[in-house]
Structure 1
């Protein structure tokens, strides 16, 4: 383990980990709704990315300035996986797809796929072992996504962007989860470095493709600064990092499947989206899957 690991990797209490996971899914549900809202505005995904990562990059400037853009002791491969997995690439894929996907469906396709992808990477690449309860939970998550697929085939049409890009983004997030777990960085350091690199990438995208931020009404920019920048870009990233440190990557990611339930409710009540029986069933089944796959109901060996 590197010197950076020794100085930053301190035990995080389990209770803080659970709290971080809950805070994360609450913010993510709000993020899906806010991103769906931008489909009716003139803001592009590049505009949103500038806000999403510009705000935390500014707030956490003292952290990344001390750590450096390329922290010593952290392999470039892990750093690249973290930046792509939860930074610019992840954000562009999810934001583009969510703008064309109902909030309830986006919550299931993204939030439901994240724990499944994280668990599979953990089992296949890192030889993690899951007990029967967690496998049943992951099966519930798969069942929820299957219900959503059936719903799209018989009535409510969901665009191909949602079914392809959101699971792909979930795979990126799963890669970030495992990379961060093994990087030796603290949640604060990780958030700062991902934010500044992703902001610089979006500045480059804006230079090439342009930005419409100067013509967007100030109230709309203010809404996105709070939702994208302060909540999703800063608070949720820090909270999830704490959850991964305390609970492990697979268990922390399992909590993200609660997002579909919240996104479904919010999409119906706040955005006026049609939910339907199948949508409610998919959200409930997926939510039940996460309750099992978190391992909360699994018997744990006594610690001495």
Structure 2
């Protein structure tokens, strides 16, 4: 048997991580568009949460039944941050804001903020030291956010809800990213635990506040089961877990800066949302920052 060199194994791991990250951002863009579409239906955020986490909780039941709801080797604080950061709290915060925010703006305020939040946590909490190339990438993301902020202040089409809740969602996701990286869990295990705990939380919310899921036509339910449950809840969670394991937390999160470009295009094509020149410029600048902030062009790459 031919032994694989360390360089080959590292290259293969990076390729796997990049593939996982790219799959994730494509699905995220689809999720943003589907969630925006749901605002015109009878589906509330609790209903969407039941779908989003119910599907992966069922599919991955063998995994969480084996690990237990509270794995002994995972600190409870890390598990809590993971469930909040990528589960029920993250979903409710972001979905509430997405329902009143154009898809192009969601892409920038949520996807564009994730790399910044992840980098901030990495530097302040874990002592990471991004090099000049990655700082330039983060600077490009800030420039894109600044353009969108100016546009919003001039047009008044984007309210304070968008500018508060979407960056908050990005901060929650960044916390999950770093917590998962240090949990020792596999992508399957992490995804399964987040799904089952978030589903149980949404069941509690549905019992308390009610649900309208049975009033929604089957075609709409089918669309949301595919986009929320199968793609976002299951496929994207597993793909992102693989990306974090292969690339590291900060670099995996940086790929989310590609979301603005995809969300802006999707919103224009599928939702007939108006997208002006400056919105496109903001999305492109923010998306361009990912090539630098991921460290792909750096001589050193640290997670």
TM above 0.5, yes or no, is: yes
Q: Which residue of 1 aligns with 2:258?
A: 258
Structural mapping, 1:174-189, within 5 Å = 174-189=174-189
* Cα deviation, residue 155, structure 1: 2.2
Counterparts of 1:34 and 1:79, CA distance in 2:
28
2:212 aligned partner:
212
Unaligned residue ranges in structure 1 (runs of 5+): 1-9
SS at match of 1:74: coil
Q: Which structure 2 residues correspond to residues 22-171 of structure 1 after superposition, within 5 A?
A: 22-155=22-155, 157-171=157-171
CA–CA separation in structure 1 for the residues paired with 2:108 and 2:97: 13
Q: Does 1:172 align with 2:185?
A: no
Counterparts of 2:84 and 2:45, CA distance in 1: 16
1:3 match: none
Report Cα offsets for 1:163-218 as digits up to 9, x if no partner: 00000010000000000000000000000000000000000000000000111111
- Equivalent residue number for residue 21 of structure 2: 21
Q: Please state whether the residue corresponding to 1:154 is helix, strand or coil.
A: helix
Q: Distance in 2 between matches of 1:267 and 1:248?
A: 30
Whole-angstrom distance in 2 between the partners of 1:27 and 1:97: 19
d(CA) in 2 for partners of 1:14, 1:286: 23
RMSD: 1.2
CA distance in 2, matches of 1:54, 1:288: 35
3-state DSSP class of the match of 2:155? coil
Separation in 2, partners of 1:248, 1:59? 26
State how far apart, in whole Å, the 1-side matches of 2:248 and 2:129 are: 12
What CA distance in whole angstroms lies between the structure 1 residues aligned with 2:45 and 2:146?
29
Structure 2 distance, partners of 1:187, 1:225, is: 21
Alpha-carbon separation, structure 2, partners of 1:220 and 1:90: 23
Task: Report what 1:191 is aligned to.
Answer: 191
1:201 aligns with 2:193: no
SS at match of 2:175: helix
Question: What displacement does 1:300 show?
Answer: 3.0
The one-character-per-residue Cα deviations of 1:26-71 (angstroms, maximum 9, x if unpaired) are 0000000000000110100000000000000000000000010001
Give the Cα–Cα distance (whole angstroms) in 2 for the partners of residues 35 and 49 of structure 1: 11
C-alpha displacement of 1:156 = 5.3
Consecutive unaligned residues of structure 2, counting only runs of 5 or more, are: 1-8
Aligned residues: 292
Measured in 2, the distance between the counterparts of 1:202 and 1:261 equals: 31
Q: Distance in 2 between matches of 1:148 and 1:19?
A: 29
Aligned residue for 2:182, secondary structure, equals: helix
Shift of 1:14: 1.4
Distance 1:299 1:14 in 2: 14
CA distances 1:110-151 after superposition (whole Å, capped 9, x unpaired) = 000000000010011100110000000001101101000001
Partner Cα separation in structure 1 for residue 120 and residue 160 of structure 2: 24
CA distance in 1, matches of 2:211, 2:160: 26
Normalising by the residue count of structure 1, what TM-score does the alignment of the two structures yield? 0.94
Deviations along 1:90-111, one digit per CA (max 9) or x if unpaired, are: 0000101000000000010000
Equivalent runs, 1:269-284 vs 2, <5 Å: 269-284=269-284
